[in-house]
Every structure is written in structure tokens, then in C-alpha cells.
Amino acid sequence: MCLIMTSTVAVQMSANAALPFFSEDKNEVPSLAPMLDKATPAIVTISVEGTQVSRQRVPEMFKHFFGGPDEQVQERPFKGLGSGVIIDADKGYVVTNNHVVENASEITVTLNDGREVTAKKLGADAQSDIALLKIEPDKLVALPLADSDKLRVGDFVVAIGNPFGLSQTVTSGIVSALGRSGLNIGGYENFIQTDAAINRGNSGGALVSLRGELVGINTAIFGPNGGNVGIGFAIPSNMMKSLVDQIIEFGEVRRGLLGILGQDVDSGLAEAMNLNVSKGAFVSEVSPDSAAEKSGIQAGDIITEINGITLVSFQELRAKVASKAAGSKIKLGLLRKGKKVNVEVVLGDATQTVVAAKEIHPALEGATLANGKTKQGDQGVVISEIAARSPASMIGLQDGDVIIGVNRQKIDNVLALRGALDSSKGVIALSVIRGNTSLYLVIR
């Protein structure tokens, strides 16, 4: 048994001699240290300070007896720690999670060599939890990007970050799953799952291949007590790069829009529709004049591939489309009545969407929705042209209201609202800004 194991290791070392964890010195044992020597200088610690503003509506009975404003505003200072990755040394670009730097008025980046520099936030996207920072490009080291679409379950990966303030912590594991969604962590979910230990403070750090290339941005964990139990999630590097490129070019994310409704393909749907596939995105409805309709996609189609990559679920399709810029071209592989069909789609612009609310949810029928902002400058979905005695008016919506959240999940456009409502079950609480007042409206 020992001889067989020894022989196997020798063959494996010979086949992978070019990998960075194998030293040129044949007397040394395999180690990740050579790769980490090159990768860790690109991982930074992020410290933030700011003020958290919370608004609470004052109940009518208290206003009647005591008078006063319609809402109470509380300001609370906060400090936080997270991680980040230098992706461009010449321009000083650092990627992290949006939730690490959200509401921060001061952002400080601590480099691997101990230098502390002030960072400027160039842009962020709450729905995908990505933020782009800029620091002075002085003797920086960047982490090269991998093609995350080539990842396979079982690939070895390393997580590098700042858990619990312990900077430059390295943990290792494998890719446990790909295309994870439905976790209610963010608006667009297409996560890499890993068992490399990720803890509080790792957010925004790097998930790295054994070649020292960035495959993902660590963003969340699944744990009953907030600690690592071997289930962590990272945003794929390809998705991150597409969003960052939009922030660099436009100062914001301008999402592409396909214009379909649908659901995952599962065994029940496959049996009911007499399908010969068990994975993919089933198209139940195509929006009029949408990018999907213009490309020839039809209700009943099953989307099985995007740009040659096999799709697992409808949520994965949503996330990948939402990471593409408006006007981008994508190639979709379809199954239509058992036959394979390939279509090329030029994505629409989700930031310019105006739709009838009944296309989003029956309870919103009677209102027109459009992307917009609150008086405070927060992005959301603006209600306009609401019909009297309509379902939308019956739940309490008014002309000019701005929906900014669903069940405590932030939404910043119509596409995000549709996705949040699609994934919500049971009672739904809409977070609404009405003028200077915040309130919740419930859909049962």
C-alpha cells in the first residue's frame, strides 16, 4: 500500500512540475509557500469608519398624544474591518465587497508591507456585493485573474484575508460546488462554494487557485453561529471583472436585461413537460419588445447554455446576465421541442426599464414601475400612474413611492425587484420611502 501511494505521489509531482507550489529544489516537499509569496502581497486589510443612519416611523397614536415629526432619525458611528484584493497595480484598483465599505466615510487600506493608505470608492453594486476602490499606485502587487468559468468541483483553492482582524490568514480547501443560488445573500447569486475556512473579516478577500490566480471574491459563509463550518461562498472572478469594468467605464453598473420570466428545470417540470433534461432555465414568459423577443426566444424554451457554459438553474442565468453590461452580446443554447437552437442576444438596459407592475407581481397590478432614486439619493423602484382601487393601491402604495427593499433585501432597480419577489415565499414586506419617511407595506 505504501509503495503504491509513494509511486502515485511521484507521478503527480512530475506531471505538475510547473505548478508554483513545487520548488525547484527536488529535496523540498510540496508546499503552497512559493505561490503564496507571490499572491499575498496583493491581499489587503480594509478598515472603515462611518455613520449608520436609521429611520423609524413614529406610530400615529404617539403623534396624536405627543406631537413631533413623522419619523425618528438615529445616527450611530461604526467601525469595521474587511479584506480586499489589488487587481491592477498600475492604477491602484482594489476590489472588495460592497457590505465592507457601505456607508463608510473613511476607508483605509493596509498593505502587506504594513503601509496604510487612504482609499477612494469609485463605485459599488449592492445587488452583487462588489465595490471598487482606488489607492495611490505606489509599488503595488496585483493578483492575476483566472477564468472562473473553467473551475471544476474538486479543484483546490486557497482563501486569503483578514478574519477577526488576523491579517494575511491563509486557509485551503476545494471547490465544493458551482453556481450556488437561492441563498438570499444578495440579489444576484452565482456563488462558488468552498470548504476553505472563511470567517468574519474574510469578506472581500481572495479565493485563489494553486497557480496563484484570483478565482473569486470571498463574500459570505453559512454557519449557525457566524463561524466557519466548511461552507463558504465567493463571487466568481469573471462576474466580478464584468461589474468592475462597468464601474470603471460608467461610474456605476449598467446591467443588461434579457426580458424573460421562468424557473429552474427540475424533475417535476421535466416530467410534466416531457423534457429530456434535468437542469437549465425554463422560459415561461417573454416580455414584449425585449432583447429575448428580438432574438427569437419563445415561451417553453429551455436555456441550457450561456456563451458555451452549461447552466444549472434560472438563478444562475439571472446572475450571469445581470453581470453583463447593457448592449453586450451573449450566445444562448436552447432546447425547443427537443431540438437544439442557438441564438445571439444583444442585452437591453435594465437601468432604463419601465414596466407595468402586474408583470412583476399580481399584488402590484395597477402601478407603473420605473428605475429611479429617493430624495436622499438612494436607488430604487419608483411607483407612478397608480390606478385607484387597484391591488397596488389596496396594499397602500402611492404615486411617488420608491421601493428600496424586499424582506430586508436591498433592491435598486426593476430587475432586482422582480428577482427578489420571485424568490420570496409567504408574507412579503416592501421597504418603501415616501418623501422623507420610511415605511413597510405587507403583501400577504
Residues with active-site annotation: 99, 129, 203
**Short-list 308, 258, 311, CA closest to 287:** 258
Residue spans of beta strands (DSSP E) within 337-401: 339-346, 348-349, 354-356, 368-373, 379-384
**Short-list 188, 81, 158, 242, CA closest to 416:** 188
Dihedral sign for Cα atoms in the order 353, 359, 360, 364 = positive
| CA–centroid distance for 318 within its chain | 11
How far apart CA 214 and CA 175 sit, in angstroms, is 13
Q: Say if residues 85 and 44 touch (Cβ distance below 8 Å).
A: yes
How far apart CA 52 and CA 76 sit, in angstroms, is 5
Q: Say if residues 108 and 116 touch (Cβ distance below 8 Å).
A: yes
How far apart CA 97 and CA 104 sit, in angstroms, is 12
For residue 314, give every residue at least 6 positions away whose Cβ sits within 8 Å of its Cβ, in sequence order, or none.
262, 263, 264, 281, 282
Q: Say if residues 97 and 124 touch (Cβ distance below 8 Å).
A: no
Q: SS3 of 240, please? A: helix
For residue 53, give every residue at least 6 positions away whose Cβ sits within 8 Å of its Cβ, in sequence order, or none.
73, 74, 75, 103
**Short-list 298, 376, 306, 393, CA closest to 337:** 298
* Orientation angle between helical segments 414-423 and 314-322, nearest 10 degrees: 160
Length of the chain: 444
The cell for 13 is 509531482
